[in-house]
Structure 1
Amino acid sequence: MSGINGIGSPNSPPISQDLAQTANPNGGRFRQVLSKVADGGLAAVAAVAPIFPGGQLVSMAANGLRELKATSPGGLTPGGQGDQLDRMFDMQKQSQVFNLQYLQLQTEMQADNRRFSTLSNLMKVRHDTAKAAINNMHA
């Protein structure tokens, strides 16, 4: 994968480097890009909202979010005390592992159920055969 370049100019880093930076819980390009996108989106909403009826309220809300992002320690981006995005991905991975374990347990239980049913049916046939033989001797 190191030969494949990321989106953008020919000088952009390979995808594998982008993924390594994305996986870094202490920061990286992905977090910076998301922060810039959020800033741009909030600025665009604040600029365009007054044109529409009731847009002053939306504009004030967007400006408030921009100020909150700028003044809060962790901002609105993932990071700070705990990286919410990384924790979400970790929880998804754990969920997948648990789902696979549960599927394996279900498969084993079905196999045990089939074995039990087979043995039960065989024992019933054996019992019925022995009982029929005994009844034939009495008659």
Structure 2
Amino acid sequence: MSNINGVNSSGFNATQLQNAQTEGANNSGSSFGDFMGDVADGALAGVAAVAPFFPGGELVKMAANGLRGLSDQAPAGLGGAKGEKLDQMWEMQEQNQMFNLQYMHLQQELQSDNRHFSTMSNLLKARHDTAKAAINNMRV
């Protein structure tokens, strides 16, 4: 195992994290999203650096490195640079809501039809039982 203060097996240097954090704090022209993206990247790098020292840490390290790799694909409001994906996500959610409303309306129609069918069935059964009882009373 390598030293926590030095370079570990993933090639991450703990001093790089400190330098990245101070650069992010000194860069006053960056947006809040960029700053938070840098903080998240630094936190994931720290998790990846410390993870091998714990049981099952290799899996955590791989997950943290995978999340760090996804940061360039994140929507603009989440630290990435692509606002189109966020717009597409909202559009898909609106479509999903529309489909859910249509599905709920269809379920309500089916429940209504089922109630009508049950009511008619019960009425016809009562009519049949009444007629059958009348016929049986005439035979006696």
TM value normalised by structure 1 = 0.49
Q: State the structure with bigger RCO (CA 8 A, min sep 6), 1 or 2.
A: 2
TM value normalised by structure 2 = 0.49
Higher percent of residues as helix = 2
